[in-house]
Amino acid sequence: MVFSQPKLNLVLGTGYYNPKIETTDPIPKIGFVGKNLLLNWGMRYQIYPNVRIGYSQSHSLHFGSIGSSNYRRNISYRSISFETFYLMKEKIELNFSLAPMLNKGSITISAKAPTNDWDSFLSAYGNSSVSLETGSSMTKRWVGFSSHMGCRYYFSRLISVEGQLGYFMSSYSDKNWKLEGNNNLNGPPMKIGRLPVLQINLVVGI
């Protein structure tokens, strides 16, 4: 009996990369989870016998506190992928993907009462006071590109595990972050121009 591969694939997993992200006082110290760990999710759909298109996100999260406020930083690497694949053996697949990216960074500082924690955070990157005493988020978007080679092992038609090795390329600049109508703020310096990335994902076929 011959089984075809599932048309729709749901992907959930984790990844490792090694960016350089500046954290100076009062920004919380960054550890392995906030710096190196990625959380992945996405989906891919087979449009041809050996071609899939997909959408995926990889998130780098950093939590902590600044003064009396809660701090949360999220770098979201978002891509639309074009993937080719072939079966080496009955249960082993090799694949290769190219993906343009539209990435987003967000930093949220939230407080239960008016504070000066936003000004403390922004001054660390050379910004002047913004007179913001309550919680809010500053954001920035930028384009990028990624490419991966992967190997997938099928436990069954519907469950498989996939390892991928590739890189993220990014046009990120620490200029022009947006906050409460101000579009010209400096954000954290990050060296993420070209980074090797290792990902391990659980794939569920439908």
Q: What does each of the 206 residues of the chain score in pLDDT, given as a tens digit?
A: 445 578 999 999 999 999 998 888 888 888 999 999 999 999 999 999 899 999 999 999 999 998 888 999 999 999 999 999 998 888 999 999 999 999 999 999 887 766 788 888 888 888 877 766 567 889 999 999 999 999 999 999 899 999 999 999 999 999 999 988 788 899 999 999 999 999 999 999 98
Please name the residues in contact with 25: beta carbons below 8 A apart, sequence gap of 6 or more: 124
Give the pLDDT score at 2.
45
* Cα–Cα distance, 23 to 109 (Å, whole number): 15
Fold of 9-205: Porin (2.40.160)
CA separation for the pair 7, 61 (Å, rounded): 31
Q: Look up the pTM and report it.
A: 0.91
Question: For residue 160, how many other CB atoms are within 10 A of its CB?
Answer: 22
Task: Tell which residue, 183, 160, 179, has the closest CA to residue 119.
Answer: 179
The secondary structure element, H or E, covering residue 35 is helix 32-36
Is the Cα torsion angle 12, 198, 38, 73 positive or negative in sign? Answer: negative
Q: Where are the domains of the chain?
A: 9-205
pLDDT digits (tens, 9 = 90+) for 75-96: 999 999 999 999 888 899 999 9
Find the largest Cα–Cα distance for the chain.
Answer: 69
Beta strand segments in the chain, E: 8-16, 20-21, 37-48, 51-66, 69-87, 92-110, 136-154, 159-170, 177-179, 182-185, 190-191, 194-205
d(CA 129, CA 70): 19
How many CB atoms within 10 Å of residue 154? 21
The three-point CA angle 142-23-124 to 5° equals: 90
Paired with 152 in beta bridges are 93, 162
